[in-house]
């Protein structure tokens, strides 16, 4: 059953104007009549809409009032008049009467013929499939216009809910709610929205392959609700999901075709948003890539350029790097370049959502093969809490994408100019983790002690330095030489203080003086001079490498 209001989705009626009887647009319309005779009232079918030029009333337009009263009693659906042919304007008295009777008076554009209008309206009334097609085209035109005008996703979904007169949700590929119709502003619908989101996030992979599911109603133990699922595909490796509630009860002429037309426009809007994000991401990658490489020296430039990408001026900064383990082993990467890039995009969005749980001001970008995040903290944050969130994301990525990820985590720094340092630490931590654990690790960077740095120097170079610094004391052969070395070690550890050294070794001060003088004679230089003292300290740190005094 159609009403007058439904006719306005037909192309020929889209520019028609209701000038009176707006409240009567809910009148049932079952047929279309075309007539110019004043006695047509005797031949009109009930619930018919009359199309006319008003020829019968050209000499007395006020007579339309009596005619409209008769049509309203009959009852008829309304009257559509083509003005400017025989009647230029509908008298105010007639308009007022039509309003009081709630009887629609519709003005047909002068460019249209009554025959064409009648033909399209009759086709619309008589053929349900054609009507559904018209409605789908109407929806497509409306949504295309909205997209061109720059309507955002939320507005598109709200309008779709309005046209379908049913609740509508748009879910991201991860199952998060992106947009929702006005229905969910009602208090009793808020928990419904949360219930659906929770269900889909737990089993998004399974639900995305279905066209319809039935779920328990969260507000009632004895009722259920059906959800129509429409995939909205973009360049993303996984589709967004358009959820229509109780689609089998859509008011006529809404149809699956209308939903598909709307979803196509929503898909284009998502594609546009993805292109904008990709452009923005490219700029971020270029800037932060240069920053962590140390190519931006001036602090003022870092802050000025960084602000537009979310960099905070005064904070503590920490870098996290991660990448997918074992490219050759993972089917995730056994694909063409385009598919791989889209999968990386998906991983990017998944991590961005997770990293916000650690810190809302977190920055994410891609540097070479690494995903890199800069955590920005204005208060203290424990590395243990960061590691806990990374473990949760690591597990989620494995469950969702079937890939294992490994992380390197740097230390906090207090200045934007030191960000390259924490980045370098994170990369070193990742490389060290790869050597130790190989897969699915989270390795925190530990500041290297001097002895660790010594280990990085080739052993031959160390040996030359060690022997040149300690001379014959490098390899003591007698107890006296051992005593000299031990006294030298304690003497240097206590900043060349003779009294403290004597107390710690339980020997006389003069004995300390004697032994140090003997050492200086063997070494050929003064022990207490800063440069010599530094060299001696370093050489003595290397001693366990070349003697049997224990390991480092």
Q: Measured in whole angstroms, how far is the alpha carbon of residue 432 from the centre of its chain?
A: 31
**Which strand (E) or helix (H) includes residue 33?**
strand 31-34
Q: Are both 16 and 121 inside the same structural domain? A: yes
Check pLDDT > 50 for residue 329: no
C-beta separation of 550 from 543 below 8 A:
no
Q: Are both 122 and 63 inside the same structural domain? A: yes
DSSP state of 231: E
Question: In the structure encoding, which two tokens stand for residue 87, read together?
Answer: 């009647």
Q: Are both 509 and 540 inside the same structural domain? A: yes
Task: Look at residue 489 in the predicted model and tell me its pLDDT.
Answer: 93
Angle at 99 between CA 98 and CA 102, to 5 degrees: 85
Q: Are both 155 and 193 inside the same structural domain? A: yes
Check pLDDT > 90 for residue 456: no
pLDDT tens string 405-428: 999 999 888 888 889 989 999 999
Q: What share of the chain in percent tops pLDDT 70? A: 91
Q: What share of the chain in percent tops pLDDT 90? A: 34
Distance between CA 135 and CA 54 in Å, rounded?
30
- Final residue of a structural domain among 272, 304, 337: 272
Q: Are both 99 and 181 inside the same structural domain? A: no
Mean pLDDT of 153-170: 88
CATH number of residue 149's parent domain: 3.30.450.40
Backbone φ and ψ of 127, nearest 5°: -125, 110
C-beta separation of 166 from 243 below 8 A:
no
Secondary structure class of 494 (helix, strand, coil): coil
Q: Are both 218 and 359 inside the same structural domain? A: no
CA-derived radius of gyration, the chain = 41
Distance between CA 486 and CA 489 in Å, rounded?
5
Check pLDDT > 50 for residue 358: yes
Distance between CA 425 and CA 413 in Å, rounded?
11
Task: Look at residue 344 in the predicted model and tell me its pLDDT.
Answer: 66
Distances 153 to 242, 368, 396, 454 between C-alpha atoms, Å: 12, 33, 27, 59
Task: Look at residue 548 in the predicted model and tell me its pLDDT.
Answer: 61
CATH number of residue 106's parent domain: 3.40.1390.20
First to last CA, the chain: 90
Question: In the structure encoding, which two tokens stand for residue 200, read together?
Answer: 């889909």
Check pLDDT > 80 for residue 333: no
The residue count for the chain: 552
| 3-state helix vs strand vs coil in the chain, percent to 5 | 55, 15, 30
* Structural domain boundaries enclosing 186: 130-272
pLDDT tens string 176-223: 889 999 888 887 788 888 888 888 888 887 888 888 888 888 877 778
Residue 267 CB coordination number (10 Å): 17
Check pLDDT > 80 for residue 69: yes
Mean pLDDT of 485-492: 93
C-beta separation of 247 from 259 below 8 A:
yes
The overall longest dimension of the chain from CA atoms, in Å, is 140
C-beta separation of 265 from 280 below 8 A:
no
What residues pair up with 228 in beta bridges, in sequence order? 212, 244
Asked if residue 288 is part of any domain, the answer here is no
Secondary structure class of 358 (helix, strand, coil): helix
Asked if residue 281 is part of any domain, the answer here is no
Check pLDDT > 70 for residue 334: no
Task: Look at residue 320 in the predicted model and tell me its pLDDT.
Answer: 94
Q: Are both 145 and 185 inside the same structural domain? A: yes
Cis peptide before 118 (omega within 30 of 0): no
Residue 207 CB coordination number (10 Å): 20
Task: Look at residue 459 in the predicted model and tell me its pLDDT.
Answer: 80
Q: Are both 380 and 330 inside the same structural domain? A: yes
- Final residue of a structural domain among 126, 156, 191: 126
Q: Measured in whole angstroms, how far is the alpha carbon of residue 240 from the centre of its chain?
A: 12
Distance between CA 149 and CA 156 in Å, rounded?
11
Domain count, the chain: 4
Check pLDDT > 50 for residue 550: no
Question: What mean pLDDT, rounded, does the chain reach?
Answer: 85
Task: Look at residue 381 in the predicted model and tell me its pLDDT.
Answer: 64
3-state secondary structure 124-188: HHHCHHHHHHHHHHHHHHHHHHHHHCCCCHHHHHHHHHHHHCCCEEEECCCCCEEEECHHHHCHH
Q: Are both 232 and 357 inside the same structural domain? A: no
Mean pLDDT of 393-406: 83
Task: Look at residue 252 in the predicted model and tell me its pLDDT.
Answer: 63
C-beta separation of 366 from 372 below 8 A:
yes
Task: Look at residue 552 in the predicted model and tell me its pLDDT.
Answer: 31
Check pLDDT > 90 for residue 488: yes
- Final residue of a structural domain among 383, 418, 447: 447
């Amino acid at each position: 059953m159609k009403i007058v209001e439904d006719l306005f989705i037909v192309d020929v009626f889209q520019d028609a104007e209701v000038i009176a009887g707006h409240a009567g647009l809910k009148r049932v319309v079952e047929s279309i009549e075309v007539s110019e005779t004043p006695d047509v009232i005797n031949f009109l079918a009930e619930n018919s809409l009359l199309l006319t030029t008003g020829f019968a009333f050209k000499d007395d337009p006020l007579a339309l009032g009596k005619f409209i009263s008769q049509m309203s009693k009959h009852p008829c659906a309304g009257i559509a008049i083509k003005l400017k042919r025989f009647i230029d304007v509908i008298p105010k008295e007639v308009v007022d009467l039509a309003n009081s009777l709630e009887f629609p008076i519709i003005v047909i554009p002068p460019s249209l013929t009554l025959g064409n209008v009648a033909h399209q309206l009759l086709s619309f009334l008589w053929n349900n499939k054609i009507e559904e097609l018209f409605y789908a085209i109407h929806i497509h035109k409306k949504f295309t216009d909205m997209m061109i005008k720059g309507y955002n996703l939320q507005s598109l979904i709200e309008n779709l809910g309005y046209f379908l007169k049913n609740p509508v949700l748009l879910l991201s590929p991860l199952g998060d709610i992106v947009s929702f119709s006005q229905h969910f502003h009602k208090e009793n619908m808020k928990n419904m929205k949360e219930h659906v989101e929770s269900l889909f996030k737990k089993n998004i992979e399974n639900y995305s392959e279905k066209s319809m599911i039935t779920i328990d109603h969260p507000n009632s133990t004895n009722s259920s609700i059906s959800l129509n699922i429409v995939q909205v595909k973009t360049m993303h490796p996984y589709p967004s999901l358009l959820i229509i509630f109780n689609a089998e009860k859509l008011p006529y002429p809404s149809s699956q075709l209308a939903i598909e037309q709307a979803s196509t426009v929503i898909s284009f809007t998502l594609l546009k948003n993805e292109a904008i994000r990709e452009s923005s991401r490219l700029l971020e990658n270029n800037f932060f890539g240069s920053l962590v490489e140390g190519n931006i020296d001036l602090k003022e430039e870092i802050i000025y350029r960084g602000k537009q990408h979310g960099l905070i001026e005064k904070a503590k900064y920490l870098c996290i790097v991660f990448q997918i383990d074992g490219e050759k082993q993972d089917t995730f990467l056994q694909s063409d370049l385009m598919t791989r890039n889209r999968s990386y995009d998906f991983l990017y969005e998944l991590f961005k959502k997770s990293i916000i749980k650690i810190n809302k001001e977190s920055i994410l970008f891609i540097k070479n093969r690494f995903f890199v995040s800069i955590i920005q903290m204005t208060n203290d944050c424990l590395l243990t809490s960061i590691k806990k969130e990374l473990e949760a994301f690591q597990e989620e990525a494995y469950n969702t994408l079937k890939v294992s990820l490994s992380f390197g985590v740097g230390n906090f720094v207090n200045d934007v100019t030191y960000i390259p340092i924490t980045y370098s630490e994170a990369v070193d931590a990742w490389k060290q983790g790869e050597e130790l654990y190989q897969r699915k690790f989270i390795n925190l960077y530990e500041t290297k002690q001097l002895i660790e740095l010594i280990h990085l120097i080739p052993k031959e170079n160390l040996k030359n330095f060690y022997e040149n610094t300690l001379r014959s004391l490098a390899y003591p052969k007698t107890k006296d030489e051992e005593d000299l070395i031990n006294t030298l070690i304690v003497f240097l550890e206590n900043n060349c203080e003779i009294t403290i050294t004597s107390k710690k070794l339980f020997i006389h001060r003069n004995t300390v003086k004697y032994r140090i003088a003997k050492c200086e004679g063997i070494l050929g230089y003064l022990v207490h001079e800063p440069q010599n003292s530094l060299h001696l300290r370093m050489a003595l740190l290397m001693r366990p490498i070349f003697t049997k005094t224990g390991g480092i």
